[in-house]
Amino acid sequence: MKRTIIRIDETKCNGCGQCIPECPEGALQIIDGKARLVSDLFCDGLGACIGTCPENAIETEEREAEEYNEEIVMSNIVKKGKNTIKAHLQHLKAHGEEDLFAQAVAYLLKNGITVPKLEEDNCSSGICSGTVTDNVEKKDSQNQMSKNTNIVSELRQWPVQLHLINPNASYFDNSDLLIAADCVPFAYANFHEKFVRAKVVINLCPKLDSGIDRYVNKLAQIFKSKSIKSVTIVRMEVPCCGGTEIIVQKALEQAGVVKMVKVNIISINGEII
């Protein structure tokens, strides 16, 4: 059957193993110094491992693959203990995989294994706010705005998504560059006033976007051919968003450009950390 599954670029993988804890299903192992997908049966294709790879060696692709089997996965997971079981269940729940979640719980009950209580945010088990659903509580005063307030967009160019941007566009000449992760404008209410004003905007998602190599190449072309005055990154606090900085750093290295980069980190509560 054809389905979404991860692919590892072995030419990029350095065998660091940072992807391993993010795959409670056990689909990844370090073999001969490289991360390898050991079985299609174990990979659910949701890509929890992608944002943790410092080399951007992991991405998802659609190809012929053996059908993911939750029962086989659970038989492997329960051997690893309670924390791994919890991480797997939270992983399924966070991605809305209700059918697989129900199958996993049924397996535990059938085998007399206690179903662990799931937490909203449990970074100690490798599951953080990037993949876990959470309710963000706001005080009433934070949600109230004057009916007479007219918020003006500070956007100066279009498009903004890196896949669509032309690196030769004239608006990059002598510009201050803002590179923002996709979730930031939703989390930070004053995004335009604080970050967008007087900047050229590029947005991307290091976890879900495909073609990270093209991102690096395109940014490198901008850094090399355009006179960029400053680079500002705005990303979320979640671990997968750290890939934004890695992409920018690789692009600067490829372009042979030394540039001070200012990094702003936004919490899921919408505050600058």
Report pLDDT digits (tens) over 235-271: 998 877 888 988 999 999 999 998 889 999 999 889 9
Measured distance CA(134)–CA(1) in Å, rounded = 34
CB atoms within 10 A of CB 255: 20
Does residue 121 have a pLDDT over 50? no
CB 41 within 8 A of CB 66: yes
Does the pLDDT at position 132 exceed 70? no
- Can you list the domains of the chain with their CATH numbers? 2-125 (3.30.70.20), 153-266 (3.40.50)
Report the pLDDT value the prediction gives residue 237, as an integer from 0 to 100. 87
State pTM to two decimals: 0.54
User: Residue 123: its pLDDT value, please?
Assistant: 41
Tell which phi-psi region holds residue 94, choosing left (phi > 0), alpha (psi between -120 and 50) or beta: alpha
Strands 28-31 and 34-37: antiparallel
Nearest of 93, 64, 71, 77 to residue 25 by alpha carbon: 77
CA distance linking residue 141 with residue 91, whole number of Å: 34
